[in-house]
């Protein structure tokens, strides 16, 4: 179902974002925080991403929203079985 695929894509995106935050290397430049992310093969991505408290708040809000939505996934599957989608 398209709704499930869209939800899975959003979860995968947030998982990548979370991994950057948890496993990235935090650096400061000019009084601002940046994160150097790891790529495949244990390589650092050379273009640091600036993070603000607002960015982190938005990530947290999206993760919490996805978590809340996950409780309703069973309903999508139950609906598809009833309608034959």
**Which pTM was predicted?**
0.65
Give the C-alpha distances (Å, rounded to integers) separating 26 from 3, 36, 73, 78.
Answer: 35, 6, 35, 44
What is the per-residue pLDDT across 31-58, written as a single tens digit (0 to 9) for each?
Answer: 888 888 776 666 666 667 788 889 989 9
**CA distances, 6 to each of 30, 32, 45, 51 (Å):** 38, 34, 27, 26
- Residue 77: how many CB atoms within 10 A of its CB? 12
- pLDDT one-digit tens code per residue, 19-32: 888 888 888 888 88
């Amino acid at each position: 179902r398209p709704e499930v695929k869209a939800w899975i894509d959003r979860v995968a995106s947030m998982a990548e974002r979370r991994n950057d935050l948890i496993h990235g290397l935090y650096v400061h430049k000019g009084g601002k925080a940046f994160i150097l992310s790891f790529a495949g093969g244990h390589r650092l991505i050379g273009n640091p991403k600036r993070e603000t408290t607002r960015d982190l708040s938005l990530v947290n809000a999206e993760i919490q929203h996805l978590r809340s939505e996950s409780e309703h996934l069973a309903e999508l599957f139950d609906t598809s079985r009833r309608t034959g989608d």
